[in-house]
Amino acid sequence: MGGYMSSDVPAVSAKPGGGETVRATHNNNEGDKQTVLIPVDASKEAEIAFEWYVRHVHRPGNDVRIMHFGEIEYPSGKHYPDYAIPPEMWADKIAKAREHSNTVLDKYRQRVQQLQIDAHTSFELGRPGHSIVTQAKTLNASMIVMGTRGMGFLQRAMLGSVSNYVISHTSVPVTIVPRTTEV
């Protein structure tokens, strides 16, 4: 299951097909162009990973894709099989997820404008690990740069880890930036 919806968060300048591109003037060296996927959320760890990318990897001309992957919680219980969930409940959950994604991505849109970096921002609803792997393949990404929450063994075993999932399911090089990294 990819995602439910993709690339339609309103923003700075809309592109046909959805998503936003924040443009700035700079030299474009096409020979060094890489497509870099940077999955983000509202965490400090995601912010650290983005800043690490900017400081250590970014080159003018890179195709920078900042994406937020939102997951909608399914109502639980025997009274809510998938087919019995009222459409207005789904619409409300999707609207809230879109609003949250827009809030998360606004911070990155402002930051790339400050840094004068071309970047495309978008969101997708779906399981984050699977969605990141799918988007990396779709975009033919050269690299994925993401943060990690630094969960302990027990938390990782019980909850799973998005970064572990991505590393295990993609052929794209992945850089995991620990939350203790100084940028």
CA distance 126 to 69: 7
**How confident is the model at residue 85, as a pLDDT?**
72
Contact call for residues 78 and 85 (beta carbons, < 8 A): no
**How confident is the model at residue 47, as a pLDDT?**
95
**How confident is the model at residue 30, as a pLDDT?**
47
**How confident is the model at residue 33, as a pLDDT?**
82
The CATH code of the domain at 20-177 is 3.40.50.620
Can you count the helices (H) and strands (E) in the chain? 5, 6
CA distance 179 to 150: 7
CA distance 116 to 110: 10
For the stretch 21-60, pLDDT in tens is 443 333 334 456 899 999 999 999 999 999 999 999 999 9
CA distance 176 to 148: 6
Indicate if the alpha-carbon torsion angle 21, 25, 29, 32 is positive or negative: negative
Contact call for residues 49 and 177 (beta carbons, < 8 A): yes
> How far does CA 48 lie from the centroid of its chain?
14
**How confident is the model at residue 34, as a pLDDT?**
93
Strands 35-40 and 63-70: parallel
Helices in the chain by DSSP H: which ranges? Answer: 44-56, 87-115, 128-139, 153-159, 162-169
State which amino acid sits at residue 84: A
From first to last of its 183 residues, the chain has per-residue pLDDT tens of 343 333 333 222 223 334 444 433 333 344 568 999 999 999 999 999 999 999 999 999 999 999 999 888 766 656 666 566 778 888 888 899 999 999 999 999 999 999 999 999 999 998 899 999 999 999 999 999 999 875 555 555 544 588 889 999 999 999 999 887 776
**How confident is the model at residue 76, as a pLDDT?**
64
What Rg, from alpha-carbon coordinates, does the chain have? Answer: 17
Residue-range domain boundaries for the chain: 20-177
CA distance 132 to 165: 9
Strands 119-125 and 20-22: antiparallel
**How confident is the model at residue 161, as a pLDDT?**
84
**How confident is the model at residue 89, as a pLDDT?**
82
**How confident is the model at residue 5, as a pLDDT?**
34
